[in-house]
Amino acid sequence: MRYMMFVVADPDATAEAEPTPGDLTIEEWLADVDGRGKRIIGERLRPLSDATTVRVSRGQVLVTDGPFTESKDWICGFDILECEDLDEAIAIAARHPMARGGKLELRPFWPGDHA
Amino acid sequence: MVASLIRLTGDWALAEDCVQDAVEKALRHWPEAGLPRSPAAWLTTAARNRALDVLRRRRTERAKLTERALLDDAARTDKNRDDRLSLIFTCCHPALPLDGRVALTLKTVAGLNTAQIADAFLVSESTMSQRLLRTKRKISHAAIPYRVPPADLLAERTDGVLAVLYLVFNAGYGQPEGRLADEALRLVRLLADLMPSSDEARGLLALIMFQQARRATRFDAAGDLVPMEEQDRARWDPVLTAEAHHELRRATRSGRPPGPYWLQARIAACHASAPSARATPWHAIVPLYDALLTAQPSPVAALNRAVAVGFRDGFAAGLDALDALDADALAGYHLLPAARADFLRRLGRTREARAAYEDALRLVAEDGPEARFLHRRLAALPISQGECT
């Protein structure tokens, strides 16, 4: 099963204090997930000040500056995971450094979009 | 039966349809042919054959694999226990919405129909059927695994299952008829049987049994709540209470530190063993609440502890203990002002008691059993001087 994992930053989150032993750095997380072939692709994204929203209304392309939601949370990266099932994806997300202080959203792919 | 078909086909809708189909076939067939020697086996075979038919017609690669699994399983021994456990864990998966977990557990594990579940939660049948559909869809769309969780997840996921089952129980406990409470007892009994090494499952079983044993006395003839102090202890179910004590003893054998359900069951056992309300061993109950607050801090447990302190050390001490609670955490919870009102009443501080009862009344549903109880208490207060105007 393929999942899109959105990495979400929460500006209001109280910075998770001291890391506990066993917490992974992003490099360690990548090494683990890539080493097991669980990640198809993943990238970090530039901040909302660099975002552009596009929509079309009555044939007119409307381009606006910034994100399309009012929410303070913003997606700062993503990874596409290939997992056995949701429990495996949850375990991978729980080890991501942004799980502390930020959050991760797992979205299963609509089937048929990949071979 | 649905459980084993789900495991084999991985398809909830197919499994349910096939079982439904088998039941209909039985209803047509049995009256003429007579009851088969083993009705359950007959139904299982009929449902499995129906699933095979459907899968053959689909002719896809995946259907072929599933078909093989079905045929293999027919030859294999009973995997019933694993199936039922897997079903419970899947229905109670934390990625599902809580109301969906409750509904799906009642539907597929307890075997209630959609109308009965809708009834129990006071929603329309179509709302409930949508809720069930959404929940089942998420299981398949998000690939929630159908299995008993592996060892590293088992304790955490078992807690989740117990929480759902206790929620079902409490939803039924507030109602005089309480069909849900019966279902919850049945489900927790099943879970404790399936997981004999889980002390918490057995602890919850004992807790629910102690509470159910008092059921006949919790409401009076008019359907009004009767507080434990005034319940007729002679009418507490002695068989269920004895069974609860037995389960509680069985749950203490693992040597692991006691969990929250086990501790709550111990507290319930203290009440159950007391020959009268006056003889309640409050000195034993307060330390159990202390342990409970360590195992699982919660504002409600803290409130219950403060009440126990009042009965152990005197009502004035109880009021101090209530005042020391985190009022913000309990904001909106009617039992905090109700507990204050009760201690004030017992201390003869009538005017303050009246105000506290009125505070509590603002936090409960009008005309509900809680509101009727508070009104009765309020009406029974003596009229104090200065109030006769």
**What would the pLDDT profile of B162-201 be if each residue is shown by its tens digit?**
999 999 998 887 666 678 898 899 999 999 988 888 999 9
Q: Touching check for A24 and chain B: CB below 8 Å? A: no
Q: Is B228 on the interface with A (CB under 8 A)?
A: no
Q: Is B219 helix (H, G, I), strand (E, B) or coil?
A: strand
Best of A2, A38, A83, A86 to mutate (most B CBs within 10 Å, chain B):
A86
Number of domains in chain A: 1
Confidence band for A114, pLDDT divided at 50, 70 and 90: low
Q: Does position B274 have pLDDT exceeding 70, yes or no?
A: yes
* pLDDT for residue B74: 53
A90 neighbourhood in chain B, CB within 8 Å:
95
Look at residue B77 in the predicted model and tell me its pLDDT. Answer: 44
Q: Which residue of A has its CA nearest to B157?
A: A87
Band (A37; pLDDT cuts 50, 70, 90): very high
Kind and range of the H or E run holding A62: strand A60-65
Arithmetic mean of pLDDT over chain B: 87
CB contact under 8 A, A87 and B153: yes
Instruction: Confirm whether A19 is domain-assigned.
Output: no
Q: Are the beta carbons of A84 and B145 separated by less than 8 Å?
A: yes
Query: Has residue A67 got a pLDDT over 50?
Result: yes
Q: Cα(A99)–Cα(A92) distance, rounded to whole angstroms?
A: 10
Q: What angle do CA B258, B333, B105 make, to 5 degrees?
A: 55
Q: Is residue A94 in some structural domain?
A: yes
Q: What is the DSSP letter of B259?
A: P
Choice between B113 and B253, residue whose per-residue pLDDT is larger: B113
CATH code, A6: 3.30.70.1060
Query: Mind listing the pLDDT tens digit for each residue in B302-342?
Result: 999 999 999 999 999 999 999 999 999 999 999 999 999 99
Torsion sign, CA atoms B56, B61, B67, B72: positive
Best CA proximity match to B142, nearest among B98, B106, B90, B104: B90
Helices (H), B195-349: 199-213, 215-218, 238-250, 260-273, 282-295, 299-313, 315-323, 335-346
- The per-residue pLDDT for range B75-112, each reduced to its tens digit, is 454 567 778 889 999 999 999 999 999 999 999 988 89
Q: Do B145 and A106 touch (CB under 8 A)?
A: no
Residue B172: both structure tokens together = 């039924």
Burial class (CB in 10 A: 0-12, 13-18, 19+), A56: exposed
Distance from CA of B142 to the nearest CA of A (A): 5
Asked whether the predicted pLDDT for residue B256 surpasses 50, the reply is: yes
pLDDT of residue B171: 83
* Containing structural domain, residue A8: 2-14+24-108
pLDDT at residue number A45: 94
Q: What is the mean pLDDT of residues B205-226?
A: 91
Query: Residue ranges of the domains in chain B?
Result: 1-77, 79-195, 317-389
Q: Which of B144, B146, B153, B157 to mutate to test the interface with A (most CBs of A within 10 A)?
A: B144
Instruction: Give the pLDDT of residue B388.
Output: 47
Residue appearing with tokens 């209909």: B24
Whether the predicted pLDDT of B151 surpasses 80: yes
Long-range contacts of B8-16 (CB under 8 A, 24+ apart): B8/B48, B8/B51, B8/B66, B8/B69, B8/B70, B8/B73, B9/B51, B9/B55, B9/B66, B9/B69, B9/B70, B10/B66, B10/B140, B10/B146, B11/B66, B11/B140, B12/B136, B12/B139, B12/B140, B13/B136, B14/B51, B14/B54, B15/B47, B15/B51
CA distance B139 to chain A (A): 9
Q: B interface mutation test: which of A2, A83, A87, A90 has the most B CBs within 10 A?
A: A87
What are the φ/ψ torsions at residue B175 (nearest 5 degrees)? -110, 140
Nearest to B9 by CA among B153, B146, B135, B206: B146
For residue range B286-306, list pLDDT tens digits in order: 999 999 999 999 999 999 999
Question: Under a CB-based contact definition with an 8 Å cutoff, are residues B207 and B264 in contact?
Answer: yes
For residues B221-240, average pLDDT: 92
Sheet containing A2-9: order of strands: A39-44, A74-82, A2-9, A103-108
Check B143 against A108: CB less than 8 A apart.
Answer: yes
Per-residue pLDDT at A4 exceeds 50: yes
pLDDT score at B67:
64
Identity of the residue in A1, A83, A86 whose CB atom sits nearest the CB atom of B95? A86
pLDDT of B9 above 50: yes
DSSP A7: E
d(CA B306, CA B318) in angstroms, rounded, equals 6
Q: Binning pLDDT at 50, 70 and 90, where does residue B385 land?
A: low
Q: Say whether B143 and A83 touch across the interface (CB within 8 A).
A: yes
Residues B39, B115: contact at Cβ < 8 Å?
no
pLDDT at position B37 is 65
